[in-house]
Amino acid sequence: ANYGVSICFSGGTSSGKTTDIAFLLSNIQPNKRIVTIEETPELIGLERTDGKGNVENRIIQFITREHPTDELNIDMNDILRFSLRQNPDVLVPSEMRGAEALAAQEAAHTGHTVITSLHANNARETHGRILTMCRMSGTLLSDDLLSMLIAEAFPVIVFKKQMADNSRKIMEIVEVAWEGGKVQYTTLFKYTVWENVTDENGRTVRVTGKHEKHGRISDKLLQRMLENGAPGMLIQKIGGAPD
């Protein structure tokens, strides 16, 4: 996220998407302006202070407002479009549910790093969910054009899941690209379950497994990171072939 790559976290309820976003934001370079948009305040404690209590980073946080009178209702789409005037480096529309997805992908195409989340059953379903939400805006863009724009806007998808033992794990990290007139997926990392350990009542008490590197990040994505300030050593480290 420090180097211009937008990320979409997907998964079910209580899978830990917001927790991971908060961790990611806490490691954003302090000179970058972060704008968050939520329905319920969950991204808290993002401010970083020095030894004297002075805030070192730049955070602007918005909350949506539901109101019986339509004119007084403020939804995520309204705030998302307004927040672009705040010149954010990192834009965080948390838990996208509808038409705001179109504005989010537009923002990702205009120099903003977008970190967002939504509900999906797996990594590859995420792209289709964003497409469906973009359609809620009433856009007349074709499915193929929208699919291409979404793939370019969110090249990295992180899929999370709450396991049978209630632990929360990143199950898959996928790079998305538009090639040959269709969406292409490359699994970069994947969690493989080895065993579900149960107690005498048959209740799962521990899930064992391992995260493994599968694919290689594309040269196109590595070049984007390099152009946005990523150190050469980092590019070499993450751009290696699978083990």
pLDDT at 242: 64
pLDDT of residue 84: 85
Task: Give the DSSP per-residue string, the chain.
Answer: -TTS--EEEEESTTSSHHHHHHHHHHTS-TTSEEEEEESS--------B-TTS-B-SEEEEEE-B--SSGGG-B-HHHHHHHHGGG--SEEEE-S--STHHHHHHHHHTTT-EEEEEEE-SSHHHHHHHHHHHHHTTT----HHHHHHHHHHH--EEEEEEE-TTS-EEEEEEEEEEEETTEEEEEEEEEEEEEEEEE-TTS-EEEEEEEEEE-S---HHHHHHHHHTT--HHHHHHHTSPP-
pLDDT in tens, 51-107: 777 777 788 899 998 887 777 788 898 899 888 888 899 999 999 999 999 999 999
Q: Give the angle 186-187-192 at the CA atoms, nearest 5°.
A: 160
**Amino acid 47: pLDDT:** 82
* Low-confidence stretches of the chain (pLDDT beneath 50): none
pTM over 0.75: yes
